[in-house]
Structures are given as structure tokens and as C-alpha cells.
Amino acid sequence: MHISRYLLLLTIPVLLQSCWKYRNGGDYIDSQKKEWGYKPVYGTETEAKNILYSPVAEPVINGGNIYAYHDFIFQMETGRGIHVIDNSNSAAATRIGFITVKGCSQISVKDGKIYTNSYDDLVVLGFSSVDKVEVISRLQGVFTEYRYDSPLAQPPGNGYYECPVYDRFVTGWVRDSVYQNCYKN
């Protein structure tokens, strides 16, 4: 009698284990095997949330959403920031700068202010002139689901990756030998 109760107690957690799943859209696989894949790079909150404008064009690597506002076109560099394109003369339109916003994917602009996401935060940026971008406000944790669904929550490519820890800030991904725990296809 006592032994069977003990066995039952042991069995329940084993059964429940199959329910544990990482909420990142990828599949969690319990594996001790290693494979060449992606590994998250973590940054401090200050590093992850630092907004920086550089008046130098950057190459588009993982181009995302586009947005037109007056003489500008913006294009998201998914997870990394915003490309600024001078479109005052379309025949000579060109990228003129880059705003670093980690964990971003979306953009909207109103009255000279850029609204974007940085992880699960809403960030409001002013760009009164082309070379002056300032943070007007940051509303923390407003987009709850972006925490697990942010563009940096998964690696840029397909295949195995080390499952990220979500109470830390993923600032990028590197190729490395990783346990076959998460898979993106």
C-alpha cells in the first residue's frame, strides 16, 4: 500500500514533465546531444535598452517592415534597429543613418515621433532633425507577449539552438556547438 502510493507520487512529476514547453514558438526537445547551431548572446538591461543614432548607413542584413513618413522611408532591421532613408529626391534615395533599437520589429510615426518596440517595451523617439534622435519615453512591458515573441527570442536562421532564458535580455545570436534543445523550422 505504502509502496504503491510512493510510486504514484514518483510517477506524477514524470508524467507532467512532458508538458513543459518553452514558450518561444520553437519546439523544445530534451536532448543531451550536441549540434552546430545558434547560441543566444545576453546583455545587461542597460546594453539591451540603449538607443543610439548613427548618421552612417548600415547594410541591410535581416530587412523588415517599411514605413513612409514625409521625406523619409524607414526600414526595420529586425531585432537590431531602424534604417533611415532620405527620400526627398526619390531618384537619389539613399540610406543615411541607423537607429539602434534592440529587440525591435515594428514602427509607426506620428507628428515627428517614431513609435517602435524594444523587446516588450514601447519606445517613443523624437527626430526633430535628421541628425538628432532622442528618447522621449519608454513604457515598459506593455506588449506582454513580445517578451517571448520578440524578434530576438529566436535565432535568425533555422535549425537547433540553445533555448534562451527569458528573464535575461537576448541581444544577438552566434553560431556555436549547442545542445539539441530547441529547434526552429
Partner 1 sequence: MRKMRKIYCLYIIVIAILSSCEKDSNSRSSSGGTGVGGSLTKFTISGNYLYAVSSHYLYTVDISNPANPVRTSESELSFDMETIYPFKNSLFVGSKTGLYVYSLDTPSKPKLIGEAKHGRSCDPVIANDSVSYSTLKGNTSCGPATSGLYVYDVRNLNAPELKTTIPINEPIGLGMADSALYVCCAGEGLKMYSIKNPYAPVERKLFTGYHFIDVIPYDNLLICWTEEGIVLYDITDRLLPVFIKKIDN
Does residue 130 sit in helix, strand or coil?
Answer: coil
Q: Say whether residue 130 binds partner 1 (CB under 8 A).
A: no
**Is 48:96 a contact under the CB 8 Å cutoff?**
no
Of 87 and 100, which CB lies nearer to partner 1 in the complex structure? 87
Near partner 1 by CB under 8 A: residue from 107, 170, 178, 182: 107
CA distance 153 to 50: 18
Q: Say whether residue 27 binds partner 1 (CB under 8 A).
A: no
Q: Say whether residue 94 binds partner 1 (CB under 8 A).
A: yes
CA distance 133 to 125: 7
Q: Which stretch binds partner 1 (CB under 8 A): 4-12, 35-43, 45-53, 142-150?
A: 142-150
Nearest to 72 by CA among 102, 93, 51: 93
The distance of Cα 61 from the centroid of its chain, to the nearest Å, equals 14
Amino acid found at 1: M
Q: Say whether residue 166 binds partner 1 (CB under 8 A).
A: no
Q: Say whether residue 21 binds partner 1 (CB under 8 A).
A: no
Q: Say whether residue 110 binds partner 1 (CB under 8 A).
A: yes
Q: In what order do the strands lie in the sheet with 27-28?
A: 27-28, 182-184, 159-161, 34-43, 169-179
Q: Say whether residue 67 binds partner 1 (CB under 8 A).
A: yes
Q: Which residues are at the interface with partner 1 (CB under 8 A)?
A: 59-61, 63, 65-71, 73, 75, 85, 87, 90-95, 105-113, 115-117, 122, 124, 126, 136-137, 139, 142-146, 149, 185
